[in-house]
Amino acid sequence: MIAYLEHFVHGNDAESRQDDTDGDVVSSLDGLEITTATASAGKDFGGTKFSKPLAVVRPSSAVDIARAVRAAAATANLTVAARGNGHSINGQAMAHRGLVLDMRAMENHCFRFGAENGSGGLRYVDVPGGALWEDVLKRCVSQFGLAPRSWTDYLGLTVGGTLSNGGVSGQAFRYGPQTANVTEMEVVTGRGETVICSEKQNSELFFAALGGLGQFGIITRARVLLQQAPDMVRWIRVVYSEFEAYTRDAEWLVSLREGEGFDYVEGFVFVNSDDPCNGWPTVPIHPNQRFDPVRLPSNAGPVLYCLELALHYRHSHHPSTLDMEVEKLVGRLRFVEGVKFEVDVSYMEFLLRVKRVEEEAKVKGIWDAPHPWLNMFISKSNIAEFDREVFKKIIRNGVGGPILVYPLLRSKWDSRHSVMVPESSNIFYIVALLRFVPAPPKGPHAEILVAQNNAIIQLCYNRGFDFKLYLPHYNSQENWMRHFGDKWTRFIDRKANFDPLALLAPGQKIFSRIP
């Protein structure tokens, strides 16, 4: 393997050929577990972007990662991409002819529980950057009856991968995204330095790396805040025919304080038809529940809205008290009378709910098909117009999978972090078009769906909406500058500081490698 790298470094790179340090570069990778079996590192969940890395490194420690980064820095052209679970959509974890670090090689390192001094004794767990959230959940609950406070819907994602973006689910209205629930990290910067950072120590790196799209360093360990894990969850779905009533209720629910409202608030749009992938059948939670369209008002439009809620409880909670608490909240909601579904499931079953979807999608062959997804944050001030123009027109027939839309609170997002959200009001909505369609010839070509995504983004620009792409992807630096707006200068300053050669996460296509 080293011979192969040597060939690459010496044979393809005129500048480094003249550089006396080349021998050191190659030998500095000696002893690392490296493979040229790169097929899986050259593709991702999106299934539309492909690239061929030079090699995949399976690091066994932060020291290995620092060595790989320093070795790449000593060449004129090598880049380094940390790959979490490769669940990006647009090649963000790829490194064309560069080194890909398989972060899952370190997924079993250092799970350590502790309590913060001086912040009310908040409990935490130190987890490896390459750990899957699913594993974090299982270990925390089974060993200590504790669990992280903020999640993603799907847990087959790595800690480092979601912290590099945000990490959003139905708990984010209360605790903020996952990036807001981390108090310390160990990060290997683009300079090859291993740095412990927090709000108080090396804070600029801490803030930069959270939501930083992998641009400033590789997260090898994160300290994640925990709460008492409940035993059970009451999981509820109620349906609306009017977007205005839906948003009013959703916004009221996310404004309630802890202990006064639900523990989870999400929602989605679905088609007002019996289509099995896009319509009424997607709403019931349990197989023995049926959606009764007779309940719908005769003037209901082409799409309907479903608010999805969950309340945590313990086995010791008296059933009648629980019913009363739920009824007190649900009784104030103005959903379509009678169109309500509820089940009681264990906390683990609730958090692992998308795993069931994954298993079914794999059977149908749509898990491995292309996924041209679109994720956006849209200000409250524009969401009604978005509903009229996008939900009710452009995607009125659905996207073959969930269309999420639910409110989040900007006050729960730390503006010192690198992630961008709309600024014009405290409430903004996440909108996610999670397309699950078969590959051609059974389904449409991905380009057609990408074009539809682009038409939606263009509509938002044309109408002057206050919005940001979540899990952003752009092909030009101008678009990245527009994305970061007045935070662009901060972003490039941070890049110059922590990754001056622009080695890291080249698949984001923000910066070019500096020779």
Contacts (CB under 6 A) with ligand FAD, residues 306-335: none
CB of 189 to ligand FAD, least distance (A): 11
∠ CA 382-384-389, nearest 5°, is 95
Of 42, 84, 211, 398, which one interacts with ligand FAD (CB under 6 A)? 84
91 binds ligand FAD (CB under 6 A): no
Of the listed 87, 109, 371, 473, which one is catalytic? 87
- Looking at the Cβ atoms of 164 and 241, the one nearer to ligand FAD is 164
CB of 326 to ligand FAD, least distance (A): 24
The 459-498 site mask, x for binding ligand FAD (CB under 6 A), equals ------------x---------------------------
508 binds ligand FAD (CB under 6 A): yes
Q: Are 23 and 2 in contact (CB under 8 A)?
A: no
153 is catalytic: yes
d(CA 135, CA 101): 20
Burial class (CB in 10 A: 0-12, 13-18, 19+), 286: exposed
Tell me the window of 77-85, 109-117, 309-317, 453-461 that interacts with ligand FAD (CB under 6 A). Answer: 77-85
Residue labelled with tokens 């730390």: 414
Tell me the window of 166-174, 345-353, 376-384, 420-428 that interacts with ligand FAD (CB under 6 A). Answer: 166-174
Of the listed 13, 19, 126, 153, which one is catalytic? 153
Q: Are 146 and 226 in contact (CB under 8 A)?
A: yes
How many residues in the shown chain lie near ligand FAD by CB under 6 A?
A: 36
Closest CA to 300 of 238, 243, 249, 250: 243
Token digits of residue 25: 């570069």
Tell me the window of 8-16, 81-89, 261-269, 380-388 that interacts with ligand FAD (CB under 6 A). Answer: 81-89
Q: Are 159 and 131 in contact (CB under 8 A)?
A: yes
Of 153, 204, 349, 389, which one interacts with ligand FAD (CB under 6 A)? 153
Q: In the sheet that 80-83 helps form, which strands lie side by side, from edge to edge?
A: 33-35, 55-58, 99-102, 80-83
d(CA 464, CA 290): 41
Of 9, 82, 253, 427, which one interacts with ligand FAD (CB under 6 A)? 82
* Local structure of residue 222 (DSSP, 8 states): E
Of 129, 211, 261, 472, which one interacts with ligand FAD (CB under 6 A)? 129
- Looking at the Cβ atoms of 168 and 333, the one nearer to ligand FAD is 168
166 binds ligand FAD (CB under 6 A): yes
Q: Are 419 and 166 in contact (CB under 8 A)?
A: yes
d(CA 515, CA 504): 13
87 is catalytic: yes
d(CA 470, CA 428): 12
Contacts (CB under 6 A) with ligand FAD, residues 391-420: none
275 is catalytic: no
d(CA 156, CA 357): 12
CB of 340 to ligand FAD, least distance (A): 24
190 binds ligand FAD (CB under 6 A): no
Contacts (CB under 6 A) with ligand FAD, residues 234-253: none
The 195-214 site mask, x for binding ligand FAD (CB under 6 A), equals ------------------xx
Q: Are 409 and 173 in contact (CB under 8 A)?
A: yes
- Looking at the Cβ atoms of 197 and 330, the one nearer to ligand FAD is 197
The 418-457 site mask, x for binding ligand FAD (CB under 6 A), equals ----------------------------------------
Closest CA to 135 of 152, 165, 110, 155: 155
- Looking at the Cβ atoms of 169 and 241, the one nearer to ligand FAD is 169
- Report the relative pairing of strands 123-128 and 99-102 from DSSP bridges: unpaired
Q: Are 466 and 377 in contact (CB under 8 A)?
A: no
CB of 170 to ligand FAD, least distance (A): 9
- Looking at the Cβ atoms of 57 and 219, the one nearer to ligand FAD is 219
- Indicate the length of the chain as a whole number: 515
Contacts (CB under 6 A) with ligand FAD, residues 18-47: 44-45
- Report the relative pairing of strands 303-313 and 264-271 from DSSP bridges: antiparallel
194 binds ligand FAD (CB under 6 A): no
Q: Are 74 and 9 in contact (CB under 8 A)?
A: no
168 binds ligand FAD (CB under 6 A): yes
- Report the relative pairing of strands 303-313 and 33-35 from DSSP bridges: unpaired
505 binds ligand FAD (CB under 6 A): yes
81 binds ligand FAD (CB under 6 A): yes
The Cβ of residue 275 has, within 10 Å, a number of other Cβ atoms equal to 15
What's the distance, CA 479 to chain centroid? Answer: 21
Question: Which residues of the chain form contacts with ligand FAD (CB under 6 A)?
Answer: 44-45, 81-88, 92-93, 103, 129, 152-154, 157-158, 160-162, 164-169, 213-214, 218-219, 471, 505, 507-508
Please identify every residue annotated as catalytic. 87, 153, 266
